[in-house]
């Protein structure tokens, strides 16, 4: 194998990271979204780039600046995020941190929905969005060698995440507890459990940058690259 510079152990590898929420339009002024800030995904893209990987970051709407040296594609909806991921393939490593909206409005309208005095509120028909992590995890010659997902859970965090890893077909899943009282979704810290095919590892609460560095260290080891 080609020796890689010790300080940039992922040099020569391509990585894809999804981050942020998606916004699913209802009408021109309203959308369906969630509390994701994008911080964890941006931190991972940054850490992968610092380790020498060529990183494409596919981001839903956030207020974050692009990490240095990362190719950033901004998208709004899940359908756009999927298309941008496909366009960024092939890659060696995929990390899906995006809080993709599970549903989109079946028929967004191009005119603002108005209140009609006396009429009941409108009901919104939803349809499921594509599952980007499951899509990237499909077996085949184009599959990234390592696919990592996140699992945002409020209950039975570890068990749900173990089941989710299998359901999605990804290699690793990073479970995090997003219960309101932990205040983690949208915050600067994370408390996670890394789940692989062979076991799990609890990482006590730390900054999202530290989680990103820990993950990049694990990725470097998985690719059997001597760390610096
Ligand atoms: N994910 C994705 N595309 C979707 C939904 C989720 O790529 N349409 C990815 C997320 O980026 C994350 C992982 O799948 O890496 C798990 O997301 P999560 O919302 O926890 O799981 P879901 O399968 O959507 O299940 P649920 O929300 O019902 O717990
Ligand atoms: Ca979901």
> Does residue 81 form part of some domain?
yes
| Closest CA to ligand 1's atom 16 | 151
- Ligand 1 near 58 CB (within 6 A): no
Q: How confident is the model at residue 226 (pLDDT cuts 50, 70, 90)?
A: low
| Closest CA to ligand 1's atom 20 | 151
> Does residue 117 form part of some domain?
no
> Does residue 120 form part of some domain?
no
pLDDT of residue 48: 98
Residue 184 has pLDDT above 60, yes or no: no
What count of residues does the chain have? Answer: 228
Q: Give the CATH number of the domain where residue 70 resides.
A: 3.40.50.10300
Query: If you measure from the C-alpha of residue 78 to the centroid of ligand 2, how many angstroms do you get, rounded to a whole number?
Result: 11
Least confident of 153-157, 165-169, 219-223: 153-157
Tell me the C-alpha distance between 209 and 206, whole Å.
Answer: 8
Give the pLDDT mean for 139-163: 94
Tell me the C-alpha distance between 214 and 216, whole Å.
Answer: 5
Q: Are 207 and 188 in contact (CB under 8 A)?
A: yes
pLDDT digits (tens, 9 = 90+) for 10-27: 999 999 999 999 999 999
Which domain does 44 fall in, by range?
A: 14-106+125-222
| Closest CA to ligand 1's atom 12 | 150
Based on the structure, what is the number of domains in the chain? 1
- Ligand in closest contact with the CA of 168: 1
> Does residue 182 form part of some domain?
yes
Q: Which residue has the tokens 């915050």?
A: 187
> Does residue 1 form part of some domain?
no
3-state secondary structure 113-158: CCCCCCCCCCCCCEEECCCHHHHHHCCCCCCCCEEEEEEEECCCHH
Reported pTM:
0.94
> Does residue 7 form part of some domain?
no
Query: If you measure from the C-alpha of residue 9 to the centroid of ligand 2, how many angstroms do you get, rounded to a whole number?
Result: 32
For a pocket test of ligand 1, which of 42, 132, 167, 195 has the largest count of ligand atoms closer than 8 A to its C-beta?
132
Give the pLDDT mean for 53-79: 98
For a pocket test of ligand 1, which of 164, 175, 177 has the largest count of ligand atoms closer than 8 A to its C-beta?
164
> Does residue 56 form part of some domain?
yes
34 flagged as catalytic: yes
Query: If you measure from the C-alpha of residue 104 to the centroid of ligand 1, how many angstroms do you get, rounded to a whole number?
Result: 14
pLDDT digits (tens, 9 = 90+) for 94-145: 999 999 999 999 999 999 999 999 999 999 999 999 999 999 999 999 999 9
> Does residue 88 form part of some domain?
yes
Q: Are 15 and 94 in contact (CB under 8 A)?
A: yes
- Ligand 1 near 52 CB (within 6 A): no
Given 34, 160, 176, 188, which residue is catalytic? 34
């Amino acid at each position: 194998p080609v020796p890689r510079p010790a300080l940039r152990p992922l040099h020569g590898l391509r990585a894809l990271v999804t981050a942020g929420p998606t916004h699913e339009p209802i009408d021109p002024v309203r959308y369906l979204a969630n509390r994701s800030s994008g911080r964890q995904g941006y931190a991972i893209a940054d850490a992968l780039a610092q380790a020498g990987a060529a990183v494409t970051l596919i981001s839903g709407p956030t207020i974050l600046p692009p990490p240095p040296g990362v190719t950033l594609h901004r998208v709004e909806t899940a359908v756009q995020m999927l298309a941008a991921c496909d366009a960024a393939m092939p890659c060696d490593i995929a990390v899906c941190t995006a809080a993709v909206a599970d549903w989109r409005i079946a028929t967004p309208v191009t005119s603002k929905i108005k209140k009609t005095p006396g009429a009941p509120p409108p009901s919104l028909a939803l349809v499921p969005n594509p599952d980007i992590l499951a899509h990237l995890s499909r077996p085949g010659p184009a599959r990234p060698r390592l696919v990592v997902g996140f699992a945002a859970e409020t209950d039975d965090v570890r068990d749900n995440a173990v089941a989710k890893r299998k359901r999605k077909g990804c290699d690793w899943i990073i479970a995090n507890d997003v219960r309101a009282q932990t205040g983690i979704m949208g915050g600067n810290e994370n408390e996670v459990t890394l789940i692989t095919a062979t076991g799990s590892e609890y990482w006590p609460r730390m900054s999202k940058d530290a989680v990103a560095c820990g993950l990049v260290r694990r990725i470097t080891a998985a690719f059997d690259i001597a760390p610096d």
